[in-house]
Structure 1
Amino acid sequence: MPVEGTWDLSVSTPIGKIKAVVELRREEGVLSGVVHGAGEEVPLGDVTLNGDRLTWKQAVTKPMRLNLAFAVTVTGDVLSGTSRAGRLPASEVTGRRRAIPAAAEP
């Protein structure tokens, strides 16, 4: 199943759960995306899908400036894995793909 779509993420950090929305798309065969959260919109870097394993990198400035590396496993409309910021302990990541709204009937 493709990973393209909009995903609602929850990252369990030492300072509490952080919610984010990740939008993944494929253009000319290249997987890319953007994340929205904490008042920021940040492009994803190094987005890679290998089987059911999805990885990407992103930089954030809120609640503090960090470079994050995500590694998750995608199973249908659910994902789970970890996010890591340098030497800090890994944080648990869970997510669910948003349903595509049905087309409105004329």
Structure 2
Amino acid sequence: MSVDGNWNITMNTPMGERQATLTLKSSGSTLTGTQAAEAGSAEITDGKVDGNKVSWKVSITNPMPLTLDFSGVVNGDAIEGKMGVGFMGSFPFSGSRA
């Protein structure tokens, strides 16, 4: 199953649930795209695809400068996994195709 396309995700963070949209495009084992939330949009970096496993990073500045480190699994029209939030640990995220 391809990860390519638009996704709506919910991240469970220390500050409560946060919504974001993803636009993802795979090419071989490389994943590119953008992630957008209420604070703005950013290009994803270090994106990788391995079968139905995906990972990427995105840098944010609000509520503080952080790099969010995502790793997850695509299962049909669903995606779920963990989001690393630096010194605060990791938290679950899940979503579906838009």
Q: Please report the TM-score for the alignment, with normalisation by the length of structure 1.
A: 0.85
The count of aligned residue pairs is 97
1:102 aligned residue: none
SS in structure 2 opposite 1:87? Answer: helix
Q: Which has the larger radius of gyration?
A: 1
Equivalent residue, structure 2, for 1:19: 19
CA deviation profile, 1:62-81 (whole Å, cap 9, x unmatched): 12211110001110110111
For structure 2, list consecutive stretches of 5 or more residues without a partner in the other structure: none
Q: Which structure has the highest strand share of the two?
A: 2
The one-letter code sitting in structure 2 at the alignment partner of 1:92 is: P
TM-score normalised to structure 2 length: 0.91
* Greater than 4 Å deviation, 4+ residue runs: none
Shift of 1:33: 0.4
Partner of 2:7: 7
Alignment of 1:49-88 (within 5 A): 49-88=49-88
1:47 aligns with 2:35: no
Query: Is 1:96 aligned to residue 92 of structure 2?
Result: no
Cα deviation, residue 88, structure 1: 1.5
CA distance in 2, matches of 1:31, 1:89: 24
Structure 1 portions without partners, runs of 5+:
99-106
| AA matched with 1:31 | L
